[in-house]
């Protein structure tokens, strides 16, 4: 179990827009690499970044590079990278063929209504439209667990096969915020 623990299994009834494409199982690993986007932060190691600056600008010693300036440059570079990813995700959203609304959502998966049955085991490339700044959406690889007919509609239940951990954490935070809103509305209704 990941560091998110039981929190990833909490699901709440919430309507959120999603976009998705069906994924050929042979393309699963390629999609995981695309979602991961290289994984490691090249600026995580300040010393490596300072060596890069020293070499690039032919500086004599590390003391020529003020640590505060380095930290600031790394911070700015990360923010620019986040903005670039947001812009790429906005472009990517238009490439999804299917649109739906969730009936429940959590850190471990989601459920949505769909006009046609989707076979269990099917993979979906999912973009979840959650209003989390600076993110405009969270991308995940989902695997259909069940597809049941309920009151003349297909309810597709999906488990996240792959989602970046920081995205899962953001999604869990969003779910808990919405859960508090639901509880607050209920308590106001009783008063």
Q: With 0-12 CB in 10 A as exposed, 13-18 as middle and 19+ as buried, what is 161?
A: middle
- N-to-C CA span, the chain: 40
166 assigned to some structural domain: yes
CATH number at residue 157: 2.40.10.220
23 assigned to some structural domain: yes
Q: Please state the domain count of the chain.
A: 1
* Structural domain containing residue 124: 5-38+95-190
pLDDT, one tens digit per residue, over 83-106 is 776 676 665 667 889 999 999 999
pLDDT, one tens digit per residue, over 32-86 is 998 887 445 555 566 666 667 667 776 655 555 566 677 777 778 877 877 776 6
17 assigned to some structural domain: yes
Using the predicted structure, report yes or no on whether residue 160 has a pLDDT greater than 70.
yes
pTM for this prediction: 0.71
> Of residues 8 and 93, which shows the higher confidence score?
93
70 assigned to some structural domain: no
175 assigned to some structural domain: yes
Identity of the highest mean pLDDT range in 76-85, 149-158, 181-190: 149-158
What pLDDT sits at residue 153? 92
107 assigned to some structural domain: yes
120 assigned to some structural domain: yes
55 assigned to some structural domain: no
What pLDDT sits at residue 104? 95
């Amino acid at each position: 179990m990941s560091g998110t623990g039981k929190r990833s299994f909490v699901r709440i009834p919430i309507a959120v827009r999603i976009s998705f494409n069906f994924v050929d199982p042979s393309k699963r690993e390629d999609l995981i690499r695309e979602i991961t986007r290289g994984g490691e932060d090249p600026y995580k190691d300040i010393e490596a970044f300072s060596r890069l600056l020293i070499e690039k600008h032919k500086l004599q010693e590390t003391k020529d590079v003020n640590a505060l300036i380095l930290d600031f440059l790394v911070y700015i570079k990360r923010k620019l990278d986040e903005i670039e990813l947001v812009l790429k995700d906005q472009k990517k959203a238009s490439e999804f063929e299917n649109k739906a609304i969730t009936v429940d959502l959590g850190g471990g998966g989601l459920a949505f209504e769909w006009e046609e049955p989707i076979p269990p085991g099917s993979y979906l490339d999912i973009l979840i439209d959650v209003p989390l700044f600076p993110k405009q959406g969270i991308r995940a690889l989902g695997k259909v667990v069940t597809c049941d007919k309920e009151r003349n509609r297909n309810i597709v239940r999906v488990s996240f096969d792959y989602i970046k951990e920081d995205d899962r954490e953001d999604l869990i935070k969003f779910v808990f915020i919405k859960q508090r809103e639901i509880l607050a509305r209920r308590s106001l209704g009783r008063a």
